[in-house]
């Protein structure tokens, strides 16, 4: 649904087939990160999503005796939002569903189960069974299989799902009118029965208990079973108002490829991870953020379909890193051996006394951030000192507009390519070829100056250039640290290139090549150094 919400404004036709008659209402995702909220912002849905989240939730790891041995409470909003947010997945999924009605070109068919597909190299033919049993056929340029961990799409195109499924199961319970109330997410690392207790928005409490090998789902989810297990976490389980309960198994699996011809995989269909880092949903949204603008570029803007190969190049390794981290955290959190648990408690006790190590955990620096070295990134253009910024997510401070309002930076850009430049408008240095590429990319230019300069009458920028004031100094800090003054951003807000103003043509032409743009005559742009292209990657 996020892909459809991002592609919707392009006018391309999107059809979603969902086998169920309504969206899933199981207890699932509860932790949403800043990157994910930023994608909701790109889709124009963040204000609708925020009421179903609560920001800056602490994550408190406790020993069996209740002593905190690690704490995660990150500060700052570098990407425009708090780093850890509690959320309720079915409510946020509803926001995505409701977002689709904005687009006449997007159609959601509930109660349609995809049963088969064939890719003949020019199109994908899909068969689906409607809820009334009728069989329907659809033809599409590209099919994105977002059909969950058991993905039929993945199986039909023969992509192996490598990794493992853990033997441990977890009972997940959501309760209304929170009987515990503490606003944190607490992981009680008790080897006899590890469990998690998480405060969710709207007074809901999430509890997750490790299931013992001799316990059955039927027994645990019975009224007596639920009362017995809830008594571990609360004094009066009989009065708990249970919304839902369900038993899950944890998987750590990664699809061997994210693309086979005209079929792509996204979300749990491409990667499954244990829930310990709360990254399954977030990773699926990252996939959508990476893939949507590439689909638009290929289908609407005439980029070569090989551009879609960069989706796998850019996303797969990061998904692997998230799976590894989630698996590691699970091992730390849930050993069932007292010996290992005691060893862990001692080690963390020592590490906590070393401020840089403690800070590494508290500020969540262990979270792998995407960094693309291949794909739609252009290195080697800038004569500045550092090229560290290329392939990373750009910061998102608030900026002032000339009408006096203050907005998040991305809102001043829109969902498109952007040149964000400090002080000077680099477009005056652009040669004809670069101008053509930039116009084909439908790019915009944002010039940033200090807020003090914004209201002066000497702001001589091109009328089409957006001039913004750097309210917090965050953009000045970014450009000064990176020793550059121009950042070229992709629609997903990753830095495609950095340069100085007079290097803009080289950077844009190289970007055209990285985008596999075809010229009007069908010849790729910038095939050699004469065309001022820099190396890609
Ligand atoms: C207990 C628990 C806690 C979690 N906590 C977090 C968390 O804190 N943070 C986080 O980021 N993630 C979390 N996750 C993971 C998150 O819920 C999933 O990663 C996310 O829902 C995956 O979304 P998806 O759209 O890829 O797949 P799904 O949500 O599984 O959606 C797939 C959809 O495809 C449909 N479908 C399947 N086959 C077909 C077919 N043949 N035809 C048509 N439709 C089909 C299904 O009905 C389903 O609606 C948690 C998961 C669990 C179970």
| Confidence band of 332 (pLDDT split at 50, 70, 90) | confident
Q: Is residue 37 part of a domain?
A: yes
CA of 175 to the centre of ligand 1 (A): 20
E strands, 212-338, in order? 241-255, 259-260, 263-265, 271-272
Where does ligand 1 bind, in terms of residues with CB under 6 Å? 17-20, 24, 27-31, 89, 113-114, 146-148, 152, 172, 248, 267-268, 275, 278-282, 284
Question: What distance in Å separates the CA atoms of residue 507 and residue 181, rounded to the nearest whole number?
Answer: 53
What is the longest distance spanned by two Cα atoms in the chain? Answer: 77
Mean pLDDT of 443-460: 86
pLDDT at 280: 95
- Residues 155, 279 within the same domain: yes
CA of 315 to the centre of ligand 1 (A): 18
CA of 309 to the centre of ligand 1 (A): 24
- Judge if ipTM > 0.90: yes
Q: Is residue 9 part of a domain?
A: yes
* The pLDDT of residue 3 is above 50: yes
CB-CB neighbours of 331 under 10 Å: 12
> Two tokens at 231?
């008594």
CATH number for the domain spanning 480: value is 3.40.30.10
- Residues 260, 127 within the same domain: yes
- Residues 413, 517 within the same domain: yes
Question: What distance in Å separates the CA atoms of residue 230 and residue 531, rounded to the nearest whole number?
Answer: 68
Q: What is the pLDDT of residues 249-269, one digit of tens each?
A: 889 999 999 999 999 999 999
**Strand-strand pairing, 106-110 and 14-18:** parallel
Q: What is the pLDDT of residues 318-328, one digit of tens each?
A: 999 999 988 88
CA of 29 to the centre of ligand 1 (A): 8
- Residues 441, 324 within the same domain: no
Atom of ligand 1 at shortest range from CA of 246: 1
Q: What is the pLDDT of residues 142-170, one digit of tens each?
A: 999 999 999 999 999 999 999 988 767 89
Most informative mutation of 5, 39, 127, 148 for ligand 1 (most atoms within 8 A of CB): 148
Supply the residue whose CA is at minimum distance from atom 30 of ligand 1. 148
Helix axes 309-333, 280-299, angle to 10 degrees: 180
- Residues 138, 76 within the same domain: yes
| Confidence band of 357 (pLDDT split at 50, 70, 90) | confident
- Residues 37, 116 within the same domain: yes
- Residues 48, 128 within the same domain: yes
Supply the residue whose CA is at minimum distance from atom 48 of ligand 1. 147
- Residues 438, 334 within the same domain: no
Atom of ligand 1 at shortest range from CA of 269: 26
Total count of domains within the chain: 2
- Residues 456, 354 within the same domain: no
- Residues 114, 29 within the same domain: yes
Say what percent of the chain tops pLDDT 70: 95
How many separate helices (H) and strands (E) can be counted in the chain?
15, 26
Collect all residues with Cβ–Cβ distance below 8 Å to 331 and sequence separation of at least 6: none
Question: What distance in Å separates the CA atoms of residue 171 and residue 249, rounded to the nearest whole number?
Answer: 9
Supply the residue whose CA is at minimum distance from atom 28 of ligand 1. 148
| Confidence band of 477 (pLDDT split at 50, 70, 90) | very high
**8 Å CB contact between 369 and 486:** no
* The pLDDT of residue 354 is above 70: yes
Structural domain harbouring 418: 398-531
As a dihedral over the C-alpha atoms of residue 266, residue 267, residue 272, residue 278, rounded to 10 degrees, the angle is 150
Supply the residue whose CA is at minimum distance from atom 16 of ligand 1. 281
């Amino acid at each position: 649904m996020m892909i459809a919400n991002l592609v919707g404004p392009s006018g391309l036709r999107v059809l979603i087939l969902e086998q169920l008659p309504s969206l899933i209402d199981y207890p699932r995702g509860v932790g949403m990160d800043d990157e994910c909220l930023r994608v909701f912002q790109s889709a124009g849905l963040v204000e609708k999503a925020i009421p179903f989240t609560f920001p800056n939730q602490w994550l408190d790891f406790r020993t069996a005796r209740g002593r905190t041995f690690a704490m995660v409470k990150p500060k700052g909003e570098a990407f425009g939002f708090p780093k850890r947010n509690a959320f309720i997945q079915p409510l946020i999924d509803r926001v995505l569903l409701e977002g689709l009605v904005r687009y006449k070109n997007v159609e959601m068919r509930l109660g349609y189960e995809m049963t088969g597909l064939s890719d003949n190299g020019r199109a994908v033919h899909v068969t689906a069974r409607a809820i009334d049993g009728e069989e329907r056929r659809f033809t599409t340029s590209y099919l994105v299989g977002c059909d969950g961990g058991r993905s039929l799409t993945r199986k039909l195109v023969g992509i192996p799902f490598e990794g493992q499924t853990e033997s441990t199961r977890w009972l997940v319970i959501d309760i209304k009118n929170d009987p515990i109330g503490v606003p944190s997410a607490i992981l009680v690392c008790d080897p006899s029965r590890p469990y998690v207790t998480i405060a969710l928005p709207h007074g809901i409490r999430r509890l997750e208990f490790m299931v013992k090998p001799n316990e059955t789902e039927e027994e645990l989810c019975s009224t007596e079973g639920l009362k017995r297990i809830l008594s571990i976490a609360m004094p009066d389980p009989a009065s708990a108002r249970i919304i839902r309960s369900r038993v899950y198994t944890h998987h750590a699996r990664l699809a061997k490829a994210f693309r086979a011809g005209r079929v792509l995989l996204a979300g749990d269909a491409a990667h499954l991870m244990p829930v310990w880092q709360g990254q399954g949903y977030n990773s699926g949204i990252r996939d959508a953020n990476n893939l949507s603008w590439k689909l638009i570029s290929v289908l609407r803007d005439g980029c070569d379909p090989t551009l879609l190969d960069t989706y796998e190049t850019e996303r797969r390794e990061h998904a692997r890193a998230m799976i590894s981290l989630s698996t590691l955290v699970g091992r730390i959190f849930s050993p069932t051996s007292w010996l290992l648990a005691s060893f862990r408690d001692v080690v963390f006790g020592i590490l906590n006394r070393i401020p840089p190590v403690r800070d590494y955990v508290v500020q969540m620096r262990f979270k792998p951030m995407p960094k693309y070295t291949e794909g739609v990134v252009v290195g080697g253009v800038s004569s500045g000192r550092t090229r560290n910024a290329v392939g990373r997510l750009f910061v998102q401070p608030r900026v002032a507009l000339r009408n006096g309002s203050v907005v998040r930076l991305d809102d001043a850009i829109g969902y498109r390519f952007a040149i964000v430049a400090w002080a000077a408008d680099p477009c005056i240095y652009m040669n004809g070829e670069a101008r053509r590429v930039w116009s084909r990319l439908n790019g915009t230019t944002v010039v940033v100056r200090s807020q003090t300069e914004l209201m002066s009458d000497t702001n001589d920028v091109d009328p089409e250039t957006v001039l913004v004031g750097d309210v917090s100094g965050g953009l000045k800090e970014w450009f000064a640290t990176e020793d550059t003054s121009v950042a070229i951003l992709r629609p997903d807000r990753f830095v495609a290139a950095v340069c100085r103003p007079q290097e803009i043509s080289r950077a844009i032409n190289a970007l055209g090549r990285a985008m596999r743009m075809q010229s009007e005559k069908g010849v790729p742009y910038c095939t050699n150094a004469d065309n001022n292209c820099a190396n890609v990657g």
